[in-house]
Chain A
Amino acid sequence: MAVDAQTVHRLAELARIAISEETLEDMSGRLGDVLKLVDQLQTVNTEGVAPMAHPLDAIQQLRPDQVTEANCREQMQAQAPQTEDGLYLVPKVID
């Protein structure tokens, strides 16, 4: 099953990954190979089988609604490409 260039572009847009035109053809071929592999799933009847999310069917743990994390904004923002006055900076979004 081939994946056409338009589909790769759409997926790249959804995933916000810039794909160069040179790698596009290669990427469509390889994506097609992977989708062909996973299409084997369609050969098995799974009617009435409950989807499995956790191997031991554990459920989300609950805890009291209390503040447990210390405020370490400065340490966290020390990692950021660009900050100002405790805020993360990105290119202008609105005019």
Chain B
Amino acid sequence: MHQLTIADIIKGLRERQFSSVEITRQLLARIQQLDPSYNSFISVTADRALAQAAAADARLASGDAPALCGVPIAHKDIFCTNGVRTSCGSRMLDNFVPPYDAAVIENFEQAGAVSLGKTNMDEFAMGSSNESSFYGPVKNPWDTSRVPGGSSGGSAAAVAAQLCPGATATDTGGSIRQPAALTNTTGVKPTYGRVSRWGMIAFASSLDQGGPIARTAEDAALMLSVMAGSDSRDSTNLQRPAENFTRALHESIAGLRIGVPKEYFGEGLNSATGDRVQAALAEYEKLGAELVDISLPHTHLAVPAYYVIAPAEASANLSRFDGVRYGHRCENPADLRDLYMRSRGEGFGEEVQRRILVGTYALSAGYYDAYYNKAQQVRRLIKQDFVQAFEKVDVIMGPTAPSPAFALGAKQADPVSMYLEDIYTIAINLAGLPAMSLPCGTVDGLPVGLQIIGNYLDEARMLNVAHRYQQATDWHNASAV
């Protein structure tokens, strides 16, 4: 049953082939048996899951079943969950049990989904390898000596290992798409403002966006239809009503214009990875699409702009963790300053501290114009590159990550090399566009992701383009386990 997609599970539950309690039990047993090898979960909430599953079965029997009724999924441990420890991968929040649910959690509960537990992640979503988690690194199910990517590495690994058919995730600079690419899963970052950030622990508020990781584009569309929607509690939410993102899945893509940016195929791209992406583009031509050469000339400035904007926003957002109202407090503080300094020094890991200090530097007196303001200007140039490209094309495609999964520990000593993992994903967050990663082959037995970038609010089209590829190819069905 663990091999079933979300679409299969919805059908199976409604046709009484199995109950929600049955599939939930089976997945919980699988997590207990296999997850010690992957470390993809921080918390498994078995009792809650079984209670939710029993309630879902009752609703299914009564004929009053909402969209995902009885479907077991998992949530990234960044989404506040009423009564369940929500750690954000940090010692700072190791003892934090939120008294409320994030909007995303509410949405899935209203849709009848069952939550198996909370998935592992880089601390405060800062990382591309899942090695910065206080709860230890996640291992890639394709090769447990390698990273699953990050920051949503737990969600991606859990889906790849078939511990759950789908999981929620978040993407600030590539944290949904890069782990999806490294684990042969399908991950979607929607347009900025589509999914409410309310109750989603903030990293960089102008870039953070929730989205799903699943095994197919269809499943991602089913999840996104539940996740997205208007929410007045998130002041940057687009206030768009919920949409059915599966509506265009089956449409033809004959005549589709695919932009291929030359900057995404240059230096830094592993050549075998590039070959797999080119093969995917050739497959799209067979499906009737037309390839158009485009240029995104400010691409090389995306990583530098991001590493000003994201740390600056993080330094402000993470100032709330002060050891006073919740979270970690040091032992025997001498005075208030000592309480702040040691609580934060002990509660935050090294990468989080580094980013807070970079952000503090960029925002400090005398540096604001040279760093933050400059980065926000460059951000507009990056957005304009995409706006101009979308005048000529319907979607843009390229690699998701520059190379397949790297070995655990390989990039830990050099933060800048880790930052370059997100070289093809970061510009999309700066521009606020929707994008996704889907499997397009393997290199030496390790998965490669194809990235599809859509125009603003055009997720239904983007998912259609991905779905048609998955109807014509089998890469997404390759399994790590």
User: At the interface, yes or no: B26 with Cβ under 8 Å from chain A?
Assistant: no
Q: Which residue in chain B gives the minimum CB-CB distance to A40? A: B304
Determine if B339 and A90 form an interchain contact, defined as CB atoms under 8 angstroms apart: yes
- Find chain B residues with CB under 8 A from A91 CB: 333-336, 338-339
Smallest beta-carbon distance B102→chain A, Å: 16
Smallest beta-carbon distance B314→chain A, Å: 11
- Find chain A residues with CB under 8 A from B433 CB: 55
Bound Cα distance from A76 to B380, whole angstroms: 40
Bound Cα distance from A83 to B337, whole angstroms: 18
Q: How many residues of A contact B (CB 8 A)?
A: 52
- Find chain B residues with CB under 8 A from A11 CB: 357, 360-361, 364
- Find chain B residues with CB under 8 A from A58 CB: 193, 236, 238
Count A-B contacts at CB 8 Å: 177
Given A8-B357, A27-B357, A37-B304, also A14-B432 (CB < 8 A): no
- Find chain B residues with CB under 8 A from A72 CB: 99
Smallest beta-carbon distance B418→chain A, Å: 11
Bound Cα distance from A15 to B345, whole angstroms: 10
Bound Cα distance from A92 to B380, whole angstroms: 47
Determine if A93 and B308 form an interchain contact, defined as CB atoms under 8 angstroms apart: no
Q: How many residues of B contact A (CB 8 A)?
A: 75
- Find chain A residues with CB under 8 A from B308 CB: 38, 41
- Find chain A residues with CB under 8 A from B333 CB: 90-91
Determine if B380 and A56 form an interchain contact, defined as CB atoms under 8 angstroms apart: no
Interface string of B364-390 (1 = CB under 8 A from A): 100000110111111111010000000
Determine if A75 and B377 form an interchain contact, defined as CB atoms under 8 angstroms apart: no
**A interface residue numbers (CB < 8 A to B):** 3, 7-8, 11-12, 14-20, 23, 27, 30-31, 33-35, 37-42, 44, 46, 49-56, 58, 60-61, 63, 72, 75-76, 78-82, 88, 90-93
Q: Sorted from nearest, which 7 A-B pairs have the closest CB atoms?
A: A55-B432, A18-B345, A51-B376, A79-B326, A46-B377, A75-B99, A81-B329
**B interface residue numbers (CB < 8 A to A):** 96-97, 99, 191-193, 206, 232, 235-239, 298, 300-301, 303-305, 307-308, 315, 319, 322-327, 329, 333-342, 344-346, 348, 350, 353-354, 356-358, 360-362, 364, 370-371, 373-381, 383, 414-416, 419, 430-433, 456
